[in-house]
Structure 1
Amino acid sequence: MARARAFRDRDFVALLIGTALLYVACVPLMNGDVRNYLIPWTHYLLDHGRFAAFGDNFSEYAPPYLYLLALGSWTAPVIGVVPAIKLVSIVGTIVLSVAMYALLATRLTRRQALSGAALTLIAPTAVANGPVWGQCDALYTSCAILAVAAFIRQRPALAMMAVGAALSFKLQGIFIAPLVLAMLLAGRARWWTLAIIPATYVVAMLPAWLAGRPAIDLALLYLRQGHHYHDLARSVPNVWQILRALVTIPYPVGVAIGLLAAAGATIAVAWRTRRHLLQPEDVVLVALLGAIVVPYLLPKMHNRYFFMADLLAGAYVFLRPTTRAFWIVRLVTIGSLLSYATFLLHLTGGAFVGAFAMTAGLVLTWREVRERLPDGRGVTPLAEAAHFKGSCPQFIKE
C-alpha cells in the first residue's frame, strides 16, 4: 500500500500502458446484454436520427445514458457498433477515475490521489463492468463519488446536484441516501437543498422531452422499470439470494419487507453516524456502509448493484489502510465478482456464494463503524453543540 499510494512516474506509465492494452483486449468480448439490448438500441439511434430517437421509449435505460450512447454512435461507422458501445463504457470508467481523484484529494497528497485514481482504472469490477460487460454503472457511481467529495469539502449544494445527476443515470444512485440523510441531520446541509436533486433530474430529461417524449413517461421512468420482472433477487449477492434458497417468500411480501428494511436501515445509519462527519475517511465510511446495506436489503436487485460499494471500499482502504479495511474491500469485491460470473461466465451458484462474502463484508464494515465512530451516548449538549459549531457554523446561527 505504501508503494501504491506513492507511484513513481514509471509506475504511472506502466499502469496506463497496461490498462490501455487490457481495455483494447476487452472490446471484442460479447455478452447477452450487448447482443440483446445495447446493439439494438444503438441501431435504433442510428436509424432514427439520434436526437429524434430520444422522443421514443425504445430503451429500458434513462435518457442521459442514451445521450452518451448517441454521441458514441458517431464513431460506429469507423470502428464498429460494439467498439462504439464499449467506448462509452470506457470513457465512463475514465470519468470514474477522475471522480476518485477528487475524493482522495480531500485527504491525501496530489501524488497519492493520482495513484488511487490510476488504480481505479484496473479495479476488478471496474474492468468487468465497463470494458468487459459494456455497462454504464461507472457513470452514476462517478456522480455519487463526486457527491461524497463535495460533502467533505462542505459544498452541499454541489453534492446534491451530483446526487441528482447520479439518479438521472440510474435509480441505483439512491444507495448514497444514508450519507445524504446523515448530512442533513448533522446540519452539514440544509433541507432545502434536497430540491436540487429533482431539479437536476428535470434538467437531465429536457433533451428527451424536447425530442417528444411525454413528461409523464420521464417522470415515472423508474416506477415503470420496477414492473419489468418479479424476482426478489436476480443473481445478486444479497440477503434475498440466501433467503430464497431456504424458504419460499411470496413476491409482494418480500418486496414490502425489503423496502421497509432498506428504509429503516437508511434512517438508522444516518442517525447513528450523524455526529461523525468531520474527517474525510469517516464520511467515506458512512457512504460505504450505505452502499452495502441498502442493496443488501432491497429486493429486485441485480448482480451489478454493489458496484458503488466496490469503489467506495477501494477509496476507504486507500484513505485508511488497515487490516480490516483490506478485508472489507476483498470480501465486497469477491462477492461482486462472483455475481458477475453468474452472467458473464454462466457460473452456477456464483451469486449465492457471493452473498456470504458480501454478508461478511457488511459485518466488518458495521464493526468498523462501531469502533471508529462511537455512538456518542453520554455526550453532553454543550459538547454536541461544539461539534456542530465546528462543522457547520451556520447551523448554530440559524
Structure 2
Amino acid sequence: MINKLKPIQNDLLLLSALFVLAIAIRVPALHQTTGDTDIFVQWYRQMMAAGRWDSLSEQIGNYNAPFVYTMLLASYLPGAIVVKLKIAWLCYDVLLAFFTYKLATLAFPGRWRAPVLAALVMLFVPTVATNASFYGQIDAMWASWAVGGIYFLARGRHWWGVTLCTVSIAFKPQGVYILPLIGLLILAGRIPWRSLLAIPVTYLLLDVPAFLAGRDPVELLTIYSLDRQARIIEHVNYGAPSMYAFLKPSADRVDTVKALGYVFCAALVIGIVYVLVARAAALTTERVVMSGTLFALLVPFFLPGMHERYFFLGDVMIVILVFFRPRLWYLAVIEQFASLMVYAPYLFHNNGRPVPLEICATLMLVTIALVTYHLFRDVLTDPPPAAEVSRPAVAEVPVREPAPV
C-alpha cells in the first residue's frame, strides 16, 4: 500500500511546487504599472469618489457592469490600488486554470494527473502569466468564462455552455469570438435553437444590480453598440499580429478597409461553418475544442481594430488543444511566440519590437492555416453518414405466376 501511495505523493508534491512557482512568478510584477493600469487606477478613483456602491448608477470607464462589480470587490482588499486591482484580475487566472482542468478531463477521462498538469501549464503560458500580473490587463476575466462555456458545450450541456459564453461577452465584447462555435453546434443539431434564449436572459441578469442602483438602462444596454465601438476603433490595427499588419491604408481609406474586413471575416466564418455542417461532420469533443480554437484565432486575425492582447483566448485554446492532440504541440509554440513578441513594447515601455510585426502576423496565419487543415482533413476523411452510403443495385428477379393445374 505504501509503495502504491508513494507515486501519488510525489505527484502531489511536484504539482504543489509548480503551483507555488506560478504564484511566485506573478508577485514581482504586482507593483509594476503600465499605461493600462494607469487607466484602471483612474477608473477606480472615479468609482470611489462616486461613493463605491453608489457608483453603480454611473458609467465607470467603457466596460460593462460586471467589470465594475469586480473592481468594487477589489476595493475591499488591502494594499496599493494597483496591487488590489491586479490581485482581483489574477483571480480569473485561477478560474481559467480550473476550466482548463475541466476541459482536459474530457481528453483524459478517469485520470487526474494530466488534467491537473494542463491547469498548471496554463498558469505558466507566457501571455497568461504576464497579462494580469505585469501588463495589468483583464483578458483572463472574459476568456476564462469562454473556456468554461466551451467545456459545457463539449459535454452537451448547452444551457450552461451558452450561459457562460454570454458571461464572457458581458465582461468584454471580445467574448463574441466564440459565438461562431455556438452557431456551428446549433446548425449541426448538437444543441437546440432554444438555448439561445440564455443569451439575453444572462446578459440582462448580470446588469440588474446596476439597473437597481439607478443606471440608465439604455446607456448600459447599448455599451457595445456599433456607434460606440466605431468611436473607439479609429485604426485598422493596434499592434496585433493580424492581417492588418500588412495592410496600412491612408486615413481616407481606413473606414473602407474596416468595412471590407468585417465582411471578409464574416464570410470566412460562414464558409467554415458551412463546410462542417454540409459535410455532416461528427462534432466530437476534440473537434469542438479544435473548432473553438480555430474561431478564437481566426476572428481576431481578420477583424480590424484589434489590440495585441485580443489573441488571448487563442493563446489559451491552442494550449488546451495540445492535450487533445499532442502532435500539434509545435503550433502552440509558434502561436505563443507570435503573441508574446507583440507584448514587448507595452511591457517594457519602449517602441522597439524584438520581432517585426509582419513576421508575428505571418506566424499567426500559419497557425490558423494548420489548425484549419487538421480540422478539415479529419472531417473530409470521415465516412459519409450511414443513410447516404450507397448500396449495390440488386437485379430484380421476375416473379413467375404459378402454372395452372
TM-score normalised per structure 1: 0.89
Q: How many Å separate the matches in 2 of 1:127 and 1:285?
A: 23
Q: How many Å separate the matches in 2 of 1:342 and 1:368?
A: 33
Q: How many Å separate the matches in 2 of 1:249 and 1:115?
A: 51
Deviations 1:170-226 (CA, angstroms, capped at 9, x unpaired): 111111122111101111111121121121111111112222221111111012133
Contact 1:181–1:267 (8 Å) recurs in 2: no
Contact 2:142–2:175 (8 Å) recurs in 1: yes
1:293 and 2:295 aligned: no
Deviations 1:71-114 (CA, angstroms, capped at 9, x unpaired): 01111xx3111110111111010111011111111221222111
1:334 and 2:334 aligned: no
Structure 1 portions without partners, runs of 5+: 1-6, 385-398
Q: How many Å separate the matches in 1 of 2:100 and 2:275?
A: 26
Q: How many Å separate the matches in 2 of 1:373 and 1:271?
A: 12
Q: Is the partner of 1:29 in helix, strand or coil?
A: coil
1:202 and 2:207 aligned: no
1:270 and 2:276 aligned: no
Q: Is the partner of 2:343 in helix, strand or coil?
A: helix
- Say which one has the larger Rg: 2
Aligned counterpart for 1:17 among listed residues 17, 20, 32: 20
1:243 and 2:247 aligned: yes
Q: Is the partner of 1:30 in helix, strand or coil?
A: coil
Q: Which residue of 2 aligns with 1:120?
A: 122
Matches within 5 A, 1:172-251: 172-223=174-225, 224-244=228-248, 250-251=253-254
The letter for the 2-side match of 1:334 is F
Matches within 5 A, 1:306-317: 306-317=311-322
Contact 1:184–1:191 (8 Å) recurs in 2: yes
Contact 2:107–2:323 (8 Å) recurs in 1: no
1:343 and 2:346 aligned: yes
Q: Which residue of 2 aligns with 1:302?
A: 307
Q: How many Å separate the matches in 2 of 1:278 and 1:314?
A: 20
Deviations 1:296-343 (CA, angstroms, capped at 9, x unpaired): 111111111110011000000112100xx1221112111211221132
Contact 2:89–2:132 (8 Å) recurs in 1: yes
Q: How many Å separate the matches in 2 of 1:194 and 1:243?
A: 36
Q: How many Å separate the matches in 1 of 2:113 and 2:351?
A: 39
Q: Which residue of 2 aligns with 1:67?
A: 69
Q: Is the partner of 2:164 in helix, strand or coil?
A: helix
The letter for the 2-side match of 1:254 is V
1:356 and 2:362 aligned: yes
Q: Which deviates more, 367-376 or 252-261?
A: 367-376
Contact 1:101–1:116 (8 Å) recurs in 2: yes
Structure 2 portions without partners, runs of 5+: 1-9, 390-405
Q: Indicate how the Cα distance of structure 1 residues 175 and 14 shifts in structure 2: closer, same or farther if over 3 A, else same.
A: same
Matches within 5 A, 1:246-257: 250-257=253-260
Q: Which residue of 1 aligns with 2:82?
A: 82
Q: Which residue of 1 aligns with 2:29?
A: 26
Q: Is the partner of 2:107 in helix, strand or coil?
A: coil
Q: Is the partner of 2:234 in helix, strand or coil?
A: coil
Q: Which residue of 2 aligns with 1:104?
A: 104
TM-score normalised per structure 2: 0.87
Q: Indicate how the Cα distance of structure 1 residues 56 and 375 shifts in structure 2: closer, same or farther if over 3 A, else same.
A: farther
Aligned counterpart for 2:135 among listed residues 108, 133, 146: 133
Q: Indicate how the Cα distance of structure 1 residues 250 and 111 shifts in structure 2: closer, same or farther if over 3 A, else same.
A: same
Matches within 5 A, 1:372-383: 372-374=378-380, 379=384, 382-383=387-388
Contact 1:342–1:351 (8 Å) recurs in 2: no
Q: Indicate how the Cα distance of structure 1 residues 80 and 210 shifts in structure 2: closer, same or farther if over 3 A, else same.
A: same
Q: How many Å separate the matches in 1 of 2:252 and 2:321?
A: 36
Aligned length: 372
Contact 1:277–1:283 (8 Å) recurs in 2: no
Contact 1:144–1:166 (8 Å) recurs in 2: yes
Aligned Cα root-mean-square deviation (Å): 2.0
- Measure how far apart 1:248 and its partner are: 7.7
The letter for the 2-side match of 1:163 is C
The letter for the 2-side match of 1:240 is Y
1:280 and 2:285 aligned: yes
Q: How many Å separate the matches in 2 of 1:251 and 1:129?
A: 29
Matches within 5 A, 1:145-156: 145-156=147-158
- Measure how far apart 1:381 and its partner are: 6.9
Q: Which residue of 2 aligns with 1:391?
A: none
The letter for the 2-side match of 1:104 is A
